[in-house]
């Protein structure tokens, strides 16, 4: 790995926004293309963060600061990537379902998805089914990701899936759900395509879905 990208990689793992920002600027000044910085520097670092979390070497605070460092780097790179017409690997519409105001877990998932190359449209918390439907219709999403922390709001996940089906959009998207009251069995019961118990696994599952779709389209 290029020395500038290696330092950036270490900065992400340490959650050091200042170092990461400096290394992004240094890499750009050295003539490294924005897409290469993203694909070879930032995304591998976020994948490594996810691996460390799953192995119990990192915990939620470490994952959160790494994701924030990644987000700071993307703020610098996104205008350059757009100008160079570098396409994201896919688009995710994400939100906490209607009646639920908890958003910390959803925010971490959002940053992780962004970190592995997705364009993420974050609808926030207390999102009605109709807003999810409108976002899919308007934005051409590949995945709808929903979070719920309260068992009383979990039925609104099914309500949203049913609304996507009624709008003729269900077959367009994969539906990913997560949150304290959820399990793989409950996710299947409400008609979701997948369930994840943490942000790292959510990003990995979403990436797997897009890779499989790309293989099918080839």
Name residue, tokens 């490594």. Answer: 48
Looking at the structure, do residues 105 and 175 belong to the same domain, yes or no?
Answer: yes
Instruction: Give the pLDDT band (50/70/90) at residue 108.
Output: confident
pLDDT for the residue 75: 86
Find the CATH number of the domain harbouring 176: 3.40.50.280
- pLDDT of 214 strictly over 70: no
Tell me phi and psi for residue 126, to 5 degrees. 55, 50
Looking at the structure, do residues 193 and 210 belong to the same domain, yes or no?
Answer: yes
Which of 34, 63, 83 is the C-terminal boundary of a domain? 83
Looking at the structure, do residues 114 and 31 belong to the same domain, yes or no?
Answer: no
Which of 33, 55, 83 is the C-terminal boundary of a domain? 83
pLDDT for the residue 5: 87
Which of 50, 83, 116 is the C-terminal boundary of a domain? 83
List, for residues 177-211, the tens digit of each pLDDT value.
999 889 999 999 999 999 998 888 999 999 999 98
List, for residues 135-178, the tens digit of each pLDDT value.
999 978 999 999 999 999 999 999 999 999 999 999 999 999 99
Looking at the structure, do residues 29 and 99 belong to the same domain, yes or no?
Answer: no
Instruction: Give the pLDDT band (50/70/90) at residue 1.
Output: low
Number of domains in the chain: 2
Find the CATH number of the domain harbouring 23: 1.10.1240.10
Pairwise CA distance, residues 38 & 66, whole Å: 15
Instruction: Give the pLDDT band (50/70/90) at residue 78.
Output: confident
pLDDT for the residue 162: 98
CB 184 within 8 A of CB 156: no
Looking at the structure, do residues 122 and 174 belong to the same domain, yes or no?
Answer: yes
Range of the domain at 77: 3-83
Q: What percent of the chain has pLDDT over 90?
A: 61
pLDDT for the residue 114: 87
CB 116 within 8 A of CB 46: yes
Q: Which of 36, 12, 21 is nearest to 76 (CA)?
A: 21
Looking at the structure, do residues 66 and 49 belong to the same domain, yes or no?
Answer: yes
- pLDDT of 4 strictly over 90: no
- pLDDT of 3 strictly over 80: no
- pLDDT of 92 strictly over 90: yes
Looking at the structure, do residues 16 and 78 belong to the same domain, yes or no?
Answer: yes
Looking at the structure, do residues 208 and 113 belong to the same domain, yes or no?
Answer: yes
Looking at the structure, do residues 73 and 117 belong to the same domain, yes or no?
Answer: no
Q: Which of 54, 130, 51, 47 is nearest to 93 (CA)?
A: 130
């Amino acid at each position: 790995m290029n020395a500038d990208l290696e330092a950036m990689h270490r900065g992400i793992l340490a959650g050091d926004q200042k170092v990461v920002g400096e290394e992004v600027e240094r890499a750009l000044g050295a003539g490294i293309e924005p897409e290469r910085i993203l694909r070879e520097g930032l995304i591998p670092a976020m994948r490594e963060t996810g691996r460390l979390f799953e192995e119990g070497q990192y915990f939620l605070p470490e994952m959160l600061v790494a994701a924030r460092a990644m987000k700071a780097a993307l703020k610098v790179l996104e205008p350059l990537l757009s100008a160079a017409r570098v396409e994201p690997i896919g688009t995710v519409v994400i939100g906490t379902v209607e009646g639920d105001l908890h958003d910390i877990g959803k925010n971490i998932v959002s940053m992780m998805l962004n970190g592995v190359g997705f364009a993420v449209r974050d609808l926030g918390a207390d999102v009605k089914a109709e807003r999810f439907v409108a976002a899919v219709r308007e934005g051409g999403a590949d995945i709808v990701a929903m979070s719920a922390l309260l068992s009383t709001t979990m039925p609104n996940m099914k309500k949203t899936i049913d609304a996507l089906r009624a709008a003729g959009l269900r077959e367009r998207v994969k539906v990913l759900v997560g949150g304290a009251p959820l399990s793989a069995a409950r996710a299947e019961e409400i008609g979701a395509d997948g369930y994840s118990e943490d942000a790292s696994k959510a990003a990995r599952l979403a990436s797997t879905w897009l890779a499989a779709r790309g293989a099918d389209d080839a």
